[in-house]
Chains A and B, each alone.
Chain A
């Protein structure tokens, strides 16, 4: 027992104050919505890697990092919504795999026109999300269990489509979406991520429905008694998370020009890590798109920088683990003071 049993929650409370958009401050910092800490971390990382290797701070490498972060970034946007309502979605990596296999398999084995297969692949993601949402709201399974189920089922289904084989070769126009850089910088997939992130930011900050998601995460019962349609919104959030996993699958297929049933293995955990590094609370009610995007880039920059410096992937995993702990600790300490 301690004299301040609710210190952590108090810290979170203070953080909400700090993150409050309503105080009339119109500065850039307030637009960050409480993600200043992660931003500082990202800048420090970039400075560190710039000093360690001259390759890091080049346009080419920066574009590389951004390209490599789009898939995770799109998954993390969906995860942000899920975590804000106090849920968790362990299935996004597997849904990505199922969608990417559907995308390769339907044209290859059934001659489905590619654009139609693309829509079906994304829709499959949405259907998986719908099942997640219904398991959570109707069957009243804890989100962890519901999405753990889907994680297993979708991965199995992904393997069944082609009996575990990969599919190679997509239309040129499709792969060029990830490779051709308009104005020398912006590929279509990166632009797509930017548009999705911007829309998510607008939605969560300025739409009444977006604000209601925070209320659900803060206290679902308070939200329900205040007239928020908690079940409907909860289902929608999981559907969107699934749809985004489908879109992320398309982006990945375009980048790799192939589909593998093992795609996206463990991505759900990276997505959760990005959201949490970005300052969201796993107990719900706190989180922001800006924070998540910064979290995604922290993970992207770490992988990229450590590769450039020549550190083995095994050590990279250790470093990323430590960064998650450090980010959340720093955040908690900053909020407490």
Chain B
């Protein structure tokens, strides 16, 4: 494939026949790609399609086995990320690589602190970092420690860092995965401004709506092959999905049956100890999918964590099947049948270095152990059955770390499915998970409701909440803004409430 002719101007970055294999596993089969000044190219593909490998080759983290790169007309073969940065290519990774106990200014200039008279020139550093942060619309002191900054703010510090290095190509890897709507809008505004100044972008994301909003071209990878290039970002979603998964997806969200009238859980004027939410009341019925929407910081995660006993509450009550629940104790909530699939899968959902089998047995020991005895055989049989039942792509003895995000998520869901709980809570169930696996998770969620559980889904992905839920509750700044039945829950209506 040759660089597109739809755009004018010289090519800034050119890739020809980039190949890469890890062991016998060929990850990239000869990729051609070009990016022009001020252009934003979306790199789409399922997990494992080769997006990250390609980005890391461009950013100097990996070397290609074959093929060549040209940067601003000259051959380009970075040995390390420092080389790439010197050339003007910065990678903004989805997991931040900032030093939490240094100030923002120090982070921006780390590794090249400005010196004057043998001492670090703090005044100059502070001023330069501050100017860049202000230009990005981040109104915090450059002296502040990075620890405690929001993810969005940290991202802007990363971008500021790359820009002070004179970056002319920024690779953004899932930049909005942890951002709320307002923060995403803000990021996009900055990105557009930088584009107008001639900065090029390679934008790696699963979020098709965003790509349509800000990208100029779309490149789709599948199994290490470049399968499609679209010279416009206005490509119908079904077409992109077909490009990505190689098959046509007509329906992403499974249909859910109408819920039972039986109330399973009632949350009564619940307030959090930390003040993250106040006076929230709602009920969920058997077989119902109850969505919770809101922007980041609205208190959604805190609310569901409190219901699952993970965080303490200051007042209010949770009534399960007519009987009050002792709050603030996860083991008690689990025993009563309230389970949580947490937002932070790697930090709170699975023990990464333990096997799938051990991860599944965790939380089920009381069920599968016989008078406290939990033999390897019992665990293995238990895991084998669950792995098959939920279609986890992995062997029970394989470590959780070796699984894709989607399969890790299935492990967490499987752990709780095995208990046949009463209330199934999922917080951001598809964050960072590719399209194909998402559909499987949606089917699982619909299946839980069909079995008569009360399902609570928190998601920043509006389409997802609206597509799955019977009713949607909107939170804003810790207050309950309203509960909308599916028929009334439109994008616009929810956003109105969420940002009210």
Contact = CB atoms under 8 A, between A and B. Distances in A.
Contacts of B340: 225
A16 B353 contact: yes
B106 to A, nearest CB: 17
B358 interface: yes
Contacts of A24: 376-377, 380
Interface string B85-107: 00000000000010000000000
B330 interface: yes
A13 B308 CA distance: 29
27 contacts: A1-B61, A1-B80, A13-B353, A13-B399, A17-B397, A20-B355, A20-B358, A22-B377, A22-B379, A22-B396, A23-B380, A23-B396, A206-B374, A207-B372, A207-B373, A211-B358, A211-B362, A218-B352, A225-B340, A225-B349, A227-B330, A227-B331, A227-B334, A227-B366, A228-B363, A285-B354, A286-B353
A34 to B, nearest CB: 12
B355 A215 contact: no
A218 to B, nearest CB: 3
B335 interface: yes
B334 A226 contact: yes
A224 interface: yes
B398 interface: yes
A212 to B, nearest CB: 7
Contact of B401 (A1, A9, A20, A225): A9
Contacts of B388: none
A166 B376 CA distance: 48
Contacts, number: 131
B383 interface: yes
Nearest to A210: B374
A208 B382 CA distance: 14
Contact of A215 (B362, B377, B379, B401): B362
A226 B363 contact: yes
A218 B376 contact: no
B81 interface: yes
B375 interface: yes
The 7 lowest CB-CB distance pairs between A and B, nearest first, are: A21-B376, A218-B351, A226-B363, A22-B380, A13-B399, A208-B365, A227-B331
A224 B348 CA distance: 9
A227 B353 contact: no
Contacts of B354: 16, 214-215, 218, 285
A23 B374 CA distance: 14
A204 B397 CA distance: 18
Interface string A58-81: 000000000000000000000000
B350 interface: yes
A219 B347 contact: yes
A12 interface: yes
B361 interface: yes
Given A9-B401, A225-B330, A229-B331, A206 B358 contact: no
A226 B362 contact: yes
Interface of B: 56, 61-62, 80-81, 97, 308, 310, 330-331, 334-335, 340, 342, 347-355, 357-358, 361-363, 365-366, 369, 372-377, 379-380, 383, 396-402, 415
Contacts of A16: 353-355, 358, 399
Contacts of A285: 351, 353-354
A24 B376 CA distance: 7
Contacts of A227: 330-331, 334-335, 363, 366
B330 to A, nearest CB: 5
Given A215-B354, A215-B358, A221-B347, A17 B56 contact: no
A205 interface: yes
A131 interface: no
A228 B353 CA distance: 18
A221 B396 CA distance: 22
A286 B355 CA distance: 12
B330 A224 contact: yes
A166 B80 CA distance: 62
A125 B353 CA distance: 33
A14 interface: yes
Given A10-B401, A17-B398, A205-B376, A222 B334 contact: no
A211 B380 contact: no
A224 to B, nearest CB: 6
Given A208-B373, A223-B362, A13 B352 contact: yes
A3 interface: yes
Contacts of A222: 347-351, 362
Nearest to A22: B380
Contacts of A228: 331, 362-363
